[in-house]
Each structure stands twice: as C-alpha cells, then as structure tokens.
Structure 1
C-alpha cells in the first residue's frame, strides 16, 4: 500500500518561538526539522516530563521574560501541558511596586480582576520549550547548523555545519524563520523581496544586576516583595527588578549610554546609587554592584519593523519580524501569539499541506498581522517613557483610578475560546489599556490601541468640560461677590 509522505517543514531557530512553531506543525501532521546555529543548551537535569527547575541553567545576560494571559493562551492552544511547566517555574506578579526616592514604596495593581503577569528567566523558558519539542517524535532538532542561503523558487535551504564546515541542502514544503532579531532568514527575504525594513537603536542601554536571595531560619527568602515587579523611576533612567523562583531578583539599570560611560569607576558608581537608589544599594552591597558593572556587558535596546514577512513558502516570525523595547512585557507574548495565529490559519486550510494553501496562509498572515505588530511596538515605546517618569506621578495615579472605576462599572466576563477563533468580537464597555494588552488575548493589539485612544479622548473631553464648568462657577461667584460689595 502506497503511503503519502508527510509534508516537511524546516524551522530556523530553536528558541521558544521556533520550538513552539515546531510543536504546532508536528501536531498538524508535518515532519519538522529545527536548525539552530548555537550548540545544544540543554541541561541533563531538566527532563521533558518534569516540572522541576534544573539546578543549573544557562543565564543569558538579559532581563526576565514575563508571561501574560496573551502568551499563556497562545501556548495553551498548542500544548496545554507546556503551560503547566512554564507557570510552575514562574513567579506571579500582581502589580508593580514603585520605589520613590523619598517615602515608602507604592503598589500599583495590574488589573482589578486579579490577573497576574508571570516572571520567568529567559534561559529557563528556552530549556522548557526546547525539551518539550525534542520529545515529539516527528520533530528533529539539529544544533550547530547555520542557514547560509535560501532558494525561494525551489524551496531549498542551504545550511552549514559549524563543527565540520560541511555545507548541504535541505528541501522543504514550508520554512519558518524564528531566528531572532538578527534573523538570517529575514536577511534573505530582504534580498528577494521589496520588504520594508527599519531598525533603531535607542540611546538607552542596560546592565543586569543580580540580587541574591536572603537568608532566614527557614532557608532562602526574597529580599523584596515577590508579588510585584519593582521599579525605581528616576526620570531619564530607571532600575527594574523581577523575582525568580530561586528567591533571587534579576535587576537591570536602564540609562543613556553617556551615563554608563561615566559610571565605569567605583568612585562614580557607588555615589550614584547612594544618591538615586539607596534602598536597593543596601540590599545589593557595594561589592556585588561593582562586580556586576565590571563583568556584565552593557546591552542595547533595539526596535525592528518589517513588512512583508514572507515570500512563497518562507515566513519570518517572532523577533525576526518585530523587536521592541521590553517595558510592556509583551516581547515573548507577542511572539508566542504569532505562532498561535499561524497555527490557526493553517488549521483553517486543513494543515496547509499543499503549496497553494501555504501561500494563502502566509499572505493572509503578513497582511493581517502587520497592523498589530506596529501597534504593540508603538505601545511598548510609550510604556518605556511612562516607566521612567509617569508611574511615579499623581496624574498617572488619577488616570489609573478613573480607568479602573469605569472598568468596574462596565466590566464583563471574558468567555471567548481562542482555540476556535483568532480574535473575539469587538469588545464593549470600558477596559484599561494595560488589561486589554496583557490580559485580553481576544483583543488584538491594534484594536486595543484604538479603543484606548478613544477612551482617552473621552476622559480628556470630560476633564476639559469639568474644568470649564469649574472656571465658570468661580467666575460667577466672583461676579456675585462684587455685586454684594
């Protein structure tokens, strides 16, 4: 009996997005090969069947990742067991804790319905999703292989084994580039299409600082409140601290590169922290702070925008298609949502196994996803400015109070099942922007941005009306007072 061979997919990049894409494709009946340019990062102590955090994991120099309902819904739609393992190794965050220069820290709840973000180390996310993909029988993962060319006409990927130096060709029916912000697949797409592309390096950079666990009679303990993301807003620079499951905090100083140039020496660095972050310095200690600045690299912040995302049977997703600043906590969530949407579109085409179906899916993805990706990039940049300045101001607090009051008066339950649709129907009632972006995966980024802008105009117009009425009342009282005199 003749058996039709399964269609073949090639995924470039074995990060979270590449591996989740591989799992999604495998469940749709594809044979999948994942190529990764780096060596195998897996730790022997982490098994696909275990939820336990490994004793030792790779720690790339980076701020933590945050999972929100949007990313969780994306993973849930592909592999529900994967959600359990990720959340087991994450720390729930109920809100942010704003550390003022003078005075007690102020908590700010993320969402009145009690939704949380989940803080998790980047290296751990990589390992968990990688191990899950490696356990799927029709997925093969090959490390130390770099893509060096793409034949878009004949669906051939040219690869090089970085250990042996040998080059070879890999045929595919579908190819996904999930190889990060320096994507080689995007590079080949740019050469083969009229892709609009831009990248922008921010004037701000960051340095990671690790706050170790404290000690008490029961063992290790958190030195800061573990229920919150901690922020020290200081205008043009800020520190962010996020908890880890091992009771440590991953901290990062974000500041202009010129400021970092002036903080290279102890006689400048220690007084700087004493003046602006005295409470954090008392927990870190001068020795650990100096060690972090001497040994940890200064990392850059980059934004990437592209359009289109495909040619023929080749598509780029994740950071290769969009990179933005991390201050809305949506980088990973957006990339995971890419996979959910792509998987849903393929499902609509019954797996998308023939070339015409693949072309339709990729064209639909490119055209429909672009507006959302631009929207979240803009929202993330706006959040970058708010995190440095606005979150510590009274105007921000008052605006948030009005948002939540109107939210309480008009809230409705979220019941849309995203396994059956890409996004839900147009949402009604008042919903704060943060809740729409982080906790309402049924609302697209572009729809959330438009709704938030409309709500802001309403609040502003009401505020202006009240101000005019108040001014009129004062003027009326003044005129009457003059008549009496």
Structure 2
C-alpha cells in the first residue's frame, strides 16, 4: 500500500461507508470517517433496524476485491432457495439457481457493520470519528460542520474528496439538491414492517438453508436464518393493518386467520408482545438524477439510491458502488473529476432500475408466487435458458448471480415478457387450429 497525500472524508459509518473507507484506505489515501452514532462495537444494545441482509454475487465481489469475503462468509448462512408457505398449508421449495447451483447468504447487519469497522481500524491511514453528526455543508468552501454530542462542540473539516454514505435521509444529499440540475425524488410506500424472531429451540421446525416466505396477497412474512440457529422474521403489510393490531385478542385473531403456522414457531406470548410493542418502520425509495457535484462531492449507497428491501439488493448495490468507484479510479488514474462524472453516468440508470425491480419483486413475493402463471413463467425461463443460455437469463438469476448492469436486467425482463406473451399467443393459435382441424376431420 503506497501512501497518498490526498485526504478523503467519508460521512457515514454504516455498511457502505465502512467498505468505501476500506477501499480508499487500501489505496493509500488518508481517510477520516465520521459517524453520528456511537461505535456499534461498544454499544450495549443493537442500533437501528436489523433486517437480515442477503449477500449475493455483487456484494461478494466487492468484499473479495479487498480480501474480506472469506471471513464474512464464515459467519453467514447459505440459502439455496425460497420455501413458500401457502395459506392452504401447502409448502413448496423453489431453488434460486437451478442451472449452476449458486446460493445467496443470510448475514446479520450488525455483525457485518462491526466486522467492517474492525477491518478499517487495521489500516494506519484511516481514522474513525464517532458521535459526529453532520449539520452543515458549505458547497462554496467545501467545508463540513459536525456537532459532537458528547463534548457539545463543533468540528469543521474538509478534504480532497467528500463522500456521503449517510443513508436514505442523507444530510449531504440534501445539500447537493440545491445545486443546478440535481433532481431527487422520494417515494414512500404505504407498507411498513416489524421484526420478530424464531428462537434456536424452534429451528428444527424450519427447513434450513432457505428463505421462508408466507405470501398473502397484500402482505407477506419472511424468515431468514442466523448463524446461531435462530431466524429473523419480518412482517410486511399495509400500515393500516398494523394500526388494527393494538390488543392481544386482535393480534392472535389476525395470525390465526393469516399466518396460523407461525404462532407455534414464535410462541403466543412472544408474538403478542413483539407485535404490540413494536412500531412499524416505513419504507422509502430515493432516486437522484446526479450522484456528484464538481470534483469534490459524491454520494453512494442509500444516500444515492435507497430502495425497498424486496430484492435483497440494497446492500449489494451499495457495495457494487465501491467496486465501480475503485475500477474508475484505476481507469482514470485517480482523476476525481473524470471519475465522479463517469460514476454518475454509470450508476444513475442502474440505481433507477434496481429501485423499480425491488418494487416489482415485492408484488411477486407477496402475491404472484401464489399464482399458476408464476410457475408457468419459471418453467418457460428454465427451458429457454437451457436452449439459448447466453441470450436468455431469468431475471432473478441475472440480478443476483451475475454482474450484468441492473439497467440491462430490467430491459431483458421487458423483452422476455414480450417473448413469453407472443409465445403463449402462438401456442394458443396452434392449439386452436389443431383442435379445429381435428374437429373437421372427425365430422
């Protein structure tokens, strides 16, 4: 690692900010990472949301590039497919990859964040600053102002490059929105979520190495495995439905009607307590028209493209930001101006595409997966992929197990849908014609 005199300031010590700091640190830059919360490794209670993360090929590549993949996978649980629990009691497994037998990995958010922060500390040119909340961005002087709650004072810093990885409600992004031609849309969906838990003692009731899904039309419940044999359960449904679950009787009646087989998995008392005491979290999607300003400011991860969690690609897309950024630094000999412009050109269209795909996958997981047409399409995808592997990749496969641009994945889905509709129409015409000819011959 060669020492570099340039200073990089990274705002946000979450997953993407931490990995980004490690990437730049490995390149020899002087890194200052600022996080507004306390050090998660020294916190007595977990912070923020803890939805388990699905680590797939894009995220794995980012970790592999800096030599961290192997250690992360040691604390992750492989998932080979979905385990669908229908309302009639039927259960069915659907493999993620029937072609090359690849899998995705369930990994705990807090574990991964702690791991990345510890990895950063091994680099002598990286400094971590906790309890520092960004409160002002001066785009004229390139100066950031942080407030340190513990000492109740202010810290003013600048750098050769300032990267915002400070989440969906990014302070840095809000400042960039005041610059010319920087458009940003924020869309909430009317669904929220709460987290529940299946204890290790009940794990024998769950088929291992699967993501379990209970699809119910307008709502769904999912369960992801943890390394300690417990399962993290997440209930997604309209916020209006959560508003109804205020008493024990209401909660039990709801689960008896909608998710009856979940009650013994979690336990009646634990289920009621967790549902009543937990306020549902909201889900938001962020789309930006630019991801940089001049050669000085850049946003990545959720700050640049927050998406709903239904494709398991939020973290993977953020980690892929780091891969793309690192490759561009190599390509343009660390010319920040050219790197940032090209980063925006490459990632904006992909960010918009995966945001749309994530919304589509929620519909698929909670509703379409219960319909015969879903399995017909799966069968058609499978046959076409076997016949013309290079030209036909199922959508989930291309998003999860390849590094195809998200934008191209979306375009392929639209093209494949047209082919499927035309094929079914042609099949119907042929079948009708054959029936007609048979009838004529008989008569």
Structure 1 length as normaliser, TM-score? Answer: 0.87
**Pairwise CA distance, 1:59:** 5.7
Structure 1 match to 2:311:
328
For residues 323 and 392 of structure 2, what CA distance do their matches in structure 1 show? 27
Matched, 1:348 2:348: no
Distance 1:63-1:168 versus aligned 2 partners, 3 A rule = closer
Structure 2 match to 1:176:
163
- Aligned pairs for 1:96-175 (under 5 A) are 96-112=82-98, 113-175=100-162
**Pairwise CA distance, 1:40:** 1.1
Structure 2 length as normaliser, TM-score? Answer: 0.95
8 Å contact from structure 2 (residues 50, 110) kept in 1 = no
Per-residue CA distance 1:207-235 (angstroms, 9 max, x = gap):
111111117xxxxx543112110000011
Structure 1 match to 2:360:
382
Secondary structure of the structure 2 residue equivalent to 1:163 = coil
Structure 2 match to 1:311:
293
Structure 2 match to 1:414:
none
**Pairwise CA distance, 1:43:** 4.3
Secondary structure of the structure 1 residue equivalent to 2:177 = helix
* Larger displacement relative to structure 2 (104-113 or 158-167): 158-167
- Aligned pairs for 1:49-128 (under 5 A) are 58=46, 60-77=48-65, 79-80=66-67, 82-112=68-98, 113-128=100-115
Structure 1 residue runs of 4+, over 6 Å off?
Answer: none
For residues 39 and 89 of structure 1, what CA distance do their matches in structure 2 show? 24
Q: 2:412 aligns with which of 441, 451, 461?
A: 451
- Aligned pairs for 1:124-273 (under 5 A) are 124-214=111-201, 221-273=203-255
For residues 109 and 94 of structure 2, what CA distance do their matches in structure 1 show? 25
8 Å contact from structure 1 (residues 152, 311) kept in 2 = no
For residues 257 and 16 of structure 1, what CA distance do their matches in structure 2 show? 28
Matched, 1:292 2:274: yes
Cα RMSD for the two superposed structures: 1.8
8 Å contact from structure 2 (residues 292, 341) kept in 1 = yes
8 Å contact from structure 1 (residues 20, 129) kept in 2 = yes
Aligned length: 440
8 Å contact from structure 1 (residues 176, 317) kept in 2 = yes
- Aligned pairs for 1:415-430 (under 5 A) are 428-430=390-392
Structure 2 match to 1:23:
22
